[in-house]
Amino acid sequence: MNKSSHLPIALWNPLWTIIWSFLFTPIFGAFLQRTNWSDMGEADETSTCGLWVFLGFVYMGGYLFAEPWLPESEFSEFYFFGSYLIVYILWIVTSGWKQVKAVKERYGDDYHHKLWGKPIMLGAAGLLLWMAISLTYIIGLLASGIISADIVKP
């Protein structure tokens, strides 16, 4: 089979899945890398990425519901960013970077790079949905009297 008739595999660039995941959460990157691993025929890695998608939802949902009850301190403005950074780095170290190396070793740059328009739009929609759920949750807690406005940070 000559090189010109060879159809390379179509993947999202794994390095860019990591970069975009800083903005759109490791859920975004793990889902796209899960798709890549599946297309590459790697069932174990596909499962690992699926686990990271699940863990990402658990983290985001858990933080959302726990945040109003976290203790006040001079660092309370950084609770989310600090914990998010830990989750993001753990994902990169345990799963995300593995695909960067595997794609580089297996294909180099000889693969079809999938376009980013649809995933970025879906990532942005996911962020907007998460913000809407967060706002609705806080307004519900305030309206029901479960928390008072002096607890909510400006």
* 85-109 confidence digits (pLDDT tens): 999 999 999 999 999 999 999 999 8
How far apart CA 111 and CA 133 sit, in angstroms, is: 38
Query: How far does CA 9 lie from the centroid of its chain?
Result: 23
* 55-96 confidence digits (pLDDT tens): 999 999 999 988 888 887 787 788 889 999 999 999 999 999
Q: What is the DSSP letter of 38?
A: H
Q: Quickly count: other Cβ atoms within 10 Å of residue 117's Cβ.
A: 8
How far apart CA 126 and CA 27 sit, in angstroms, is: 10
pLDDT bin (cut points 50, 70, 90) of residue 154 is low
- 150 has pLDDT over 80: no
State how far the alpha carbon of 27 is from the alpha carbons of 3, 5, 82, 88, 91, in Å: 36, 35, 17, 10, 10
Mean pLDDT of the chain: 90
- For the residues 47-51, what does the mean pLDDT come to? 96
The answer to whether 39 touches 9, Cβ cutoff 8 Å, is: yes
How far apart CA 79 and CA 129 sit, in angstroms, is: 21
User: Where do the domains of the chain lie?
Assistant: 8-143
Please name every residue paired with 24 in a beta bridge, in sequence order, or none if there are none.
none
* 107-132 confidence digits (pLDDT tens): 998 899 999 999 999 999 999 999 99
pLDDT of residue 1: 41
pLDDT of residue 2: 42
Pick the closest to residue 28 from 107, 116, 100 (CA basis): 116
Dump strand ranges (E) for the chain: 10-11, 112-113
- 3 has pLDDT over 70: no
Look up the pTM and report it. 0.85
